[in-house]
Structure 1
Amino acid sequence: MAISESFQKMPLAGKVCCWLAGLQALTTLGLEISILVLVLKYIDVFSSWSSDKGVAIYFLLLVMGSLFGLFLMVGGVLNGDTIQIIGFCVFNLFAMSLGIFRYFQMQEWLNDNVVQGHPVFELVRSEMLASIGVLAGMTVVYGVLAYFLFNAFGWEIYKRVGADLKIRRMYVNYRMLVFLLKMDFFVFLGFAVSYIILILKSSDPEFAITVAFVPVTLFVLVLAFWGLRRESAATMWAFVFLLCGSTAYFVFKCARMYDPKQEAKYLTQRPMMTYYTVVSLAVITATLHQAVTCLANFGYGLKERIEITRGKRSDMEQIQDYYVNAAGDRRMNLDG
């Protein structure tokens, strides 16, 4: 009920964004299923630990990306979160880049598979180009709509945190970290799934560790969100320490791909895995920076201001955020 009321009250640009995000997700899902079905018709992708499995991995990443993007856009619009809406536009560019990588790698993988005198790649070329085109075109549209939403939601941010510029900067940092925590889970999940299917075998010692990596990552990110909301310095410092460990892990994996002793294992998947690892490192680095920034903002009133907007503090606790003028009227205190 609350969601339907929020949808009715949102600006026209927000409604258009939600409908377009849903349409994009359905279109991408249809194209990706079509590509996978056409390839599976002629190639047994799962017959061996070969480069052909990259077809399935790209399918999984782009399908997960379309659903995750829909979650980002709808959540951003419903919450009036311009940071998440802009982040969705950046994420769309990332999904488009995956589509471009997929196009050139599948051209290399599938050109040797010929059916009735035509390479299998030719059967799926138009669908792959259409997928890239949809993501590119929609990103431009979202960029324009994001401008209108930024202006429309500016007043919402003002109502939440007031006119104090210092509090507003802290709130922007807070929202950026919340968005990056969501991105962290997507890139960690995508890397783990890709590594398990493309590189590892069930007999490898790393297999169980990488599988356990997914739920542990989810727990750590939820704990980080809790620590951010509660302004728990100990929890956030533990999260920063774990992020440093994750950075070392991804750097190690990237270096291992170019180790001559491991070359045979990684050679066919190295371009895509390298790109995904670099993107993951960029997201982790941004998260690390924002986590330290938010840590430095603890204790300066942001937590109390957010609790007021959510109705979690009593009227007596809110008195410090107001002053009484000569006429006896209570007014918002704008001094920072």
Structure 2
Amino acid sequence: MAVEPFLGTRAQRFFIATICIQAIAVLAIISIVFRMVAEHVDLTLTNYRTVPCYLALFVLAELFELLMAFDALRLRNVIQLVGILVFHVALVVFATIQIHETKVALVRTPNCDGTVSFVTCGGKGTLYRKVEHLLIAAPGIIAAAWIVLIFFVRALYYEFGWAVFRIVGANPAMKTMYQFYQVLICLLKFDFFAFTGVTIQLLIVVLSKNSTEFGLTIAAIPVVLVLLIGCGFAVQREVRSLMAFSLVLMLASETYFYKLYRFYDPNSEDQYETTRATLTVFTIVAILLLLTTFGVGLRCFTDFGKGLYESKTSDTLLRPKKIPHSDGEKPDSRGYPLQERLSIE
């Protein structure tokens, strides 16, 4: 059996192309919104930092999704492809929330027109009305791309469906263990994005550079990175001590999200006004992701020493190779023998 080369099939190329086109279109729209708002307001003021934060988060999200897509195709990882679809839905939700967040930031007097105040009013001819249609277009484009991606993920599912069989064989127990390992690695990647998203919002929109909380937030970044990388290394190499330490640290990290209380605390809620909804969603998602990662990590920990080490530490079976074929067997255009594809589903 031959493994299709990286980006060697039409489904793979169109999957990447869809994400790229969607990313370019959305980032272009958000950049236009950023420029239009920047022409009329001082974006360094706390009330207006939502707009640069919106742009920064979407740049991060689109780059992250593109890297995840290339990584999923390289690893023939169907689970990660499904994770990208879920992530894409989250982008739709985030882009929709930003319509409300931007309105909160710009509109101080809802029922007046641009003749009173072009910047702070919410009526016809005001700044918000000029950018509103662009803000609405962003989630629409992302949702349309998601529908297209479903079609290509389905094709890739059948294309990659037997890759696990090639790695771990037909043993159902081995297949289940390997799938839990794939889920954990995928969750660690999404944990990184969720934590980074919360951190960016806190640093850009809310926290003062002179505050203690700003310093603590900065200090937490390398700690979380070490946690995620350490956990990934531990589960791949089956290092029991490092895995145990990572799981304990992961559970302790849940206390970081005490900030969720601060978003609605009467003594501090004013500073979160323009980004409270987005921060709340990001923080809740981060908490749930981390708890899920902890649970899956425990399951993977119990699978150490059960024969999966070689499959997790070597990807040679997923690398395309030209396979010698008999005289009566015709190769395809890439030098592979034409064979019926197996499925383990």
TM class by smaller structure? 0.7 to 0.9
| 1:8-27 equivalence runs, <5 A | 8=8, 11-27=9-25
Task: Mark the CA change 1:13 to 1:202 in structure 2 (over 3 Å): closer, same or farther.
Answer: same
Distance 2:191 2:315 in 1: 27
Distance 1:105 1:248 in 2: 27
Distance 1:268 1:74 in 2: 34
Q: Once the 2 structures are TM-superposed, how far is the Cα of residue 194 of structure 1 from its aligned partner?
A: 0.8
1:158-183 deviation line (CA, Å, top 9, x unaligned)? 11111111111111111111111111
Equivalent position amino acid for 2:238 in 1: E
| 1:143-154 equivalence runs, <5 A | 143-154=150-161
Q: 1:301 aligns with which of 301, 307, 311?
A: 307
2:38 corresponds in structure 1 to: 40
1:189 corresponds in structure 2 to: 196
Runs of 4+ with deviation above 4 angstroms: none
Q: Unmatched 5+ residue regions in structure 1?
A: 312-336
1:266 corresponds in structure 2 to: 272
RMSD: 1.9
1:7 corresponds in structure 2 to: 7
TM-score (norm 1): 0.85
Contact 2:236–2:313 (Cα < 8 Å) also in 1 = no
1:128-160 deviation line (CA, Å, top 9, x unaligned)? 122111111111111222112111101222111
Moved more, 96-105 or 123-132: 123-132
Matched, 1:114 2:125: no
Partner-residue secondary structure (3-state), 1:168: helix
2:95 corresponds in structure 1 to: 99
Distance 1:257 1:125 in 2: 26
Contact 1:110–1:119 (Cα < 8 Å) also in 2 = no
Equivalent position amino acid for 1:184 in 2: D
1:207-245 deviation line (CA, Å, top 9, x unaligned)? 112112222222221111111111111111111111112
Partner-residue secondary structure (3-state), 1:7: coil
Distance 2:183 2:37 in 1: 39
Partner-residue secondary structure (3-state), 2:245: helix
Identity of aligned residues (%): 26
Equivalent position amino acid for 1:204 in 2: S
Partner-residue secondary structure (3-state), 2:162: helix
- If asked which structure has higher relative contact order (CA below 8 Å, sep 6+), I would say 2
Task: Mark the CA change 1:149 to 1:100 in structure 2 (over 3 Å): closer, same or farther.
Answer: same
Contact 1:86–1:146 (Cα < 8 Å) also in 2 = yes
Contact 1:103–1:128 (Cα < 8 Å) also in 2 = yes
1:257 corresponds in structure 2 to: 263
Q: Unmatched 5+ residue regions in structure 2?
A: 109-116, 318-345
1:188-212 deviation line (CA, Å, top 9, x unaligned)? 1111111122221111111112112
Equivalent position amino acid for 2:81 in 1: I
2:81 corresponds in structure 1 to: 85
TM-score (norm 2): 0.83
Partner-residue secondary structure (3-state), 1:261: coil
Q: 2:288 aligns with which of 282, 287, 298?
A: 282
Distance 2:93 2:184 in 1: 23
Where is the helix percentage greater, Structure 1 or Structure 2? 1
Q: Once the 2 structures are TM-superposed, how far is the Cα of residue 307 of structure 1 from its aligned partner?
A: 4.4
